[in-house]
Each structure stands twice: as structure tokens, then as C-alpha cells.
């Protein structure tokens, strides 16, 4: 039986998701940080007749993340109908072997497969060498930070990014570090999302094309990870750019699987 989850399901769903905690970081973080009452988040679960949870589907704004284990034989079509009925442009992401089964719920989609990594060797993080002043974004920085991120060709730009960024900073479920040039314009960023006591996801790693290969990204990420690890146990990220991969692996991240993102154009 598929139904919407509520606060009474918290223990059961967290136990289910924690068995694959790294890949379920977003869902776990949204449950712990957001709960079940906000209009921008919904969570559904598929239970057996014995009341055992076997699959979940998260909606966070327009982003859907499904999760189930390899043995799941349940009602994929019902989950797909939930996704298809969402009126705005949709995005599906998640562990590749799971999320790719939902691609046909989208129209005019662009699909990408990314390497999914977890920070395994913290000793490789770069120590602050003082070359760059790394700033921590506040709510007042949201507009210019969002403008910069949206200007990066490799990123998918949506108006929703601005709202999610603001919400993340306001609720302290994420943080964003940035570097500015001599004119005070942002030229490099790195941020987190879904921060909780267990883990956090690194997102929005970007450098302006005129400032690449100068160590800005690795400085931002290293400072970010060092600070975040004071309050949570693990940090993950995903990428598809080989040059970015060299940076991530060079500071202690290791590939543990694949992540999929499929977005309607």
C-alpha cells in the first residue's frame, strides 16, 4: 500500500533509509530538517501487508527522489503517476539503479549519469594557505550568489534555485562559501545542502571561466568540508566533469556508486 508519510512514520523511514545512508542523504536530511508539514515537501511510502516499509518517494519543490532496495517488487507505476501529475517542470534524481526506472515519468527530458563520492580521507583536505579570503554567505548574499550560480554554463538554471538557496541559509540546512575578485564580484563558490548530524551534500561548486585552474575551488571545498565535519559525520558529492573529479579525489573523496539526474526542459 502506497500512502503519504507523516511524523508518526519518522522512526520507520529513517531506519529504512539509514541502511544506505550516503545515497539517501537528501531524503534523510529533508526529514530531519524540514519534517512533514511544509508545502514544498511530500514523502510517500510503500508498505507491505505486514506494515513493513519497502520504498519511498520524496518531493522537494520540483525535485523527486525515489529509493528502494534491489529486492523491491512493488508498484512503480503508482509512484510514476505521482511524479507525472506534478504540474511544474520536474526533476528526478537519486541512486542510478533506482532513479533510472522512473525516467519515463518525465517529458522532453535530459538525463545525466554522475559519479557519486564520499569523503573517505579527511587528511587530504587542503589547509588554508591564506591565498584567498573565503566568505560565508548570508541571506543578504542570496541574489548575487544565485545570479553567479545561474551564470555557470554547466548548471541547470531555474528560478527555484534562488528560493531553495535562501531557505537553505535561513534554516541552516546548508551553507555557501565564496571568493570574490578585486571588483568584489563572486568568482568561485561551494555549498552544502541537506546538512544534518549524519551527513551533508556538497553542491554548487563553481568557478568563473576566467578564474579556473587557480586553486579557488579546492580552497573553497576544503574550507567548507573542514567546517561542516565539525557537526556531521560524512560528506558526499556527485560529478560528471573529469577535471572536477581530479580535484575531488585529490582531497580525499572516493567514488562509491552512480547518481542520476533527469530534468524536463
For residues 213-217, give the mean pLDDT: 94
- Residue 156: the pLDDT is 60
The answer to whether residue 159 scores a pLDDT higher than 60 is no
pLDDT band at 128 (very low <50, low <70, confident <90, very high): confident
Q: What architecture is domain 2-107?
A: 3-Layer(aba) Sandwich (3.40)
pLDDT for the residue 55: 98
Mean pLDDT score, 188-196: 94
User: Which pLDDT value is given to residue 162?
Assistant: 85
Q: Are strands 199-207 and 186-193 parallel, antiparallel or unpaired?
A: antiparallel
- Look up residue 260 and give its three cell numbers: 542520476
Where in the chain are all domains bearing CATH 3.40.630.30?
2-107, 118-259
Under the banding of pLDDT at 50, 70 and 90, the label for residue 157 is: low
Second CATH level (architecture) for the domain 118-259? 3-Layer(aba) Sandwich (3.40)
Mean pLDDT of 184-197: 94
Instruction: Tell me the β-bridge partners of 92.
Output: 64, 262
User: pLDDT per residue over 216-229, tens digit each?
Assistant: 999 999 999 999 99
**CA atoms of 116 and 139, how far apart (whole Å):** 29
Predicted local confidence at residue 171, as pLDDT: 92
Per-residue pLDDT tens digits for 65-106: 999 998 898 989 999 999 999 999 999 999 999 999 999 999
Report, as an integer, the average pLDDT of 123-143: 94
Q: What single string gives the DSSP state of each residue in the chain?
A: -EEE--GGGHHHHHHHHHTTTTTTHHHHHHHHHH-S--TTEEEEEEE-TTS-EEEEEEEETTEEEEEE-TT--S-HHHHHHHHHT--S--EEEEEHHHHGGGGGGSSSEEEEEEEEEEE--GGGSPP--SSSPPEEP-GGGHHHHHHHHHH-TTSPP-THHHHHHHHHHHHTS--EEEEE-TTS-EEEEEEEES--SSEEEEEEEEE-GGGTTSSHHHHHHHHHHHHHTTT-SEEEEEE--HHHHHHHHHTTEEEEEEEEEEEE-
Could you tell me the CA-to-CA distances from 148 to 90, 151, 153, 189, 221 in Å, in that order?
Answer: 23, 5, 10, 9, 17
Overall average pLDDT of the 36-65 stretch: 96
Question: Please, which residues bridge with residue 58 across strands?
Answer: 43, 65
Average of per-residue pLDDT values in the chain: 94
CA distance 88 to 79: 17
Q: What band does 131 get if pLDDT is binned at 50, 70 and 90?
A: very high
Q: Are 32 and 13 in contact (CB under 8 A)?
A: no
Q: What is the pLDDT of residue 154?
A: 77
pLDDT exceeds cutoff 90 at 233: no
Q: What is the pLDDT of residue 163?
A: 87
- pLDDT, position 155: 76
Q: Please, is 26 exposed, middle or buried when counting C-beta atoms within 10 Å of its C-beta (0-12, 13-18, 19+)?
A: buried
Amino acid at each position: 500500500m502506497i500512502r503519504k508519510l507523516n511524523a508518526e512514520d519518522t522512526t520507520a523511514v529513517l531506519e529504512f533509509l539509514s541502511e544506505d545512508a550516503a545515497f539517501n542523504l537528501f531524503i534523510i536530511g529533508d526529514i530531519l530538517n524540514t519534517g512533514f508539514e511544509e508545502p514544498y515537501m511530500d514523502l510517500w511510502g510503500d508498505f507491505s501487508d505486514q506494515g513493513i516499509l519497502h520504498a519511498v518517494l520524496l518531493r522537494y519543490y520540483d525535485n523527486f527522489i525515489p529509493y528502494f532496495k534491489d529486492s523491491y517488487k512493488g508498484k512503480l507505476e503508482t509512484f510514476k503517476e505521482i511524479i507525472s501529475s506534478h504540474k511544474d517542470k520536474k526533476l528526478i534524481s537519486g541512486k542510478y539503479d533506482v532513479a533510472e526506472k522512473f525516467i519515463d515519468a518525465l517529458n522532453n527530458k535530459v538525463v545525466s549519469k554522475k559519479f557519486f563520492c564520499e569523503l573517505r580521507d579527511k587528511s587530504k583536505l587542503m589547509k588554508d594557505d591564506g591565498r584567498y579570503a573565503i566568505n560565508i554567505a548570508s541571506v543578504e548574499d542570496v541574489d548575487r550568489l544565485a545570479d553567479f550560480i545561474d551564470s555557470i554554463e554547466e548548471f541547470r538554471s531555474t528560478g527555484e534555485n534562488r528560493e531553495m538557496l535562501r531557505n537553505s541559509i535561513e534554516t541552516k540546512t546548508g551553507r555557501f562559501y565564496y571568493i570574490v575578485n578585486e571588483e568584489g564580484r563572486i568568482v568561485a563558490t561551494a555549498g552544502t545542502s541537506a546538512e544534518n548530524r549524519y551527513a551533508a551534500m556538497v553542491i554548487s561548486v563553481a568557478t568563473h571561466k576566467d578564474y579556473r585552474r587557480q586553486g579557488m575551488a579546492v580552497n573553497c571545498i576544503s574550507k567548507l568540508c573542514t567546517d561542516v565535519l565539525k557537526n556531521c559525520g560524512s560528506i558526499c558529492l556527485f560529478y560528471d566533469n573529469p577535471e572536477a573529479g581530479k580535484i575531488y579525489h585529490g582531497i580525499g573523496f572516493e567514488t562509491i556508486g552512480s547518481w542520476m539526474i533527469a530534468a524536463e526542459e
